[in-house]
Amino acid sequence: MSGPGDNNEPKGFWAKLQRRLGPGAAARDSWANSAAHREILSGLTLGETRTHELRSVWRVLLWAGLLLALFQVQAGLLTRMGPELVRVDLAVLFVTFFALRLGAIEGALAAYAAGYVADLFVQGPPGLCRFLAVAIWTGGRILGNRAGFSSPVGRVIFVLAASALYQAGTLGGLQLASVSGPGQIAWLSVVPQAFLAAALALPAHRLLGSLERRTSSKGR
């Protein structure tokens, strides 16, 4: 068993990738009681991080349930209030948060669950949103520290790019899956939705971070 501070770490691409992916949060975050903060503190004792992270896996259900509820709220709102061009990219807001703030196992599973919930609402071929969500989570996890995603500006840029990629991926996936595809108009929504997601990134992540701290066994 090895932790982040292990001197006998194996070399090579996979080992590097493994180090980047986890355990603990990817981003160095200045937020008090953040997962990264806790990981640094807990990293002093080898093995503690993974044990703690496994204890937090139950929260995957919490994240999935919350996202499901928010998707339903958005569905209810959009039924009456109109254009889907400006719907909030909830899945991306959640997945980017998971990538920056949660531990590897919890984050990966939560991203998968978020993709699953998104799949329910996209009504496309099953697995499309799940794959994209985990891919974005992985990208954020790997690039997190190097690209400076922990800063507010970096986080906004990350969410902007992630939303654009996620939507483009979803629409592309739908296009590949069916003859007719989602239609031209759907592609027009990519840019405004990405900007809307970026605009909401900081407050949304702050709220999710607050919930994460409240539900964390170490943060209490």
Partner 1 sequence: MLAFLQRYRELLLVVALLLLPAGTYIANAKQGRDLSSLDKLCLAVSAPISRAVDHVTTGVLGLWAEYVDLRGVRAENAELRESIAELRSQLSARTEAELENQRLHELLTFTRASRGRAVAAPVIGVSPTHRRVVTIAIGKDDGIAAGMAVVTADGVVGKVVATYGGTAEVQLLIDGGSAVAARVQRSRARVTARGLGQESSLQLANALRTDDIETGDILVTSGTDRVFPKGLVIGRIGSIQREAYGMYLQGEILPAVEVRGLEEVLVLVVPGEDSELPTAHASDDMVPGIPGLP
Binding positions for partner 1, rule: CB under 8 A: 1-2, 10, 14, 17-18, 21-23, 68-69, 71-73, 75-77, 79-81, 104-105, 108-109, 111-112, 115, 117, 120, 123-131, 134-135, 138, 173, 176-177
Cα separation, 193 vs 138, in Å, equals: 22
Residue 134: CB minimum distance to partner 1, A: 5
67 versus 198: smaller Cβ distance to partner 1: 67
Identify which of residues 26 and 160 has a Cβ nearer to partner 1 in the complex. 26
Nearest distance from residue 153's CB to partner 1, in Å?
Answer: 27
Taking the complex as a whole, the smallest distance from the CB of residue 177 to partner 1 amounts, in Å, to 4
Closest CA to 97 of 166, 193, 170, 25: 25
Helix locations, 102-189, DSSP H: 104-122, 128-143, 152-177, 184-188
Check whether the bond before 192 is cis (ω within 30° of 0). no
* CA geometry: angle 181, 167, 191, nearest 5 deg: 105
Smallest gap from Cβ 173 to partner 1, in A, equals 7
Contact (CB, 8 A) for 149 and 143 = yes
Instruction: Match 């595809």 to its residue by tokens.
Output: 181
For the bound state, the minimum distance from the C-beta of residue 154 to partner 1, rounded and expressed in Å, comes to 22
Residue 163 near residue 193 (C-beta atoms within 8 A): yes
**C-beta closer to partner 1: residue 156 or 166:** 166
Q: Of 76 and 192, which CB lies nearer to partner 1 in the complex structure?
A: 76
Residue with tokens 């329910």: 120
Residue (21 or 62) nearer to partner 1, CB: 21
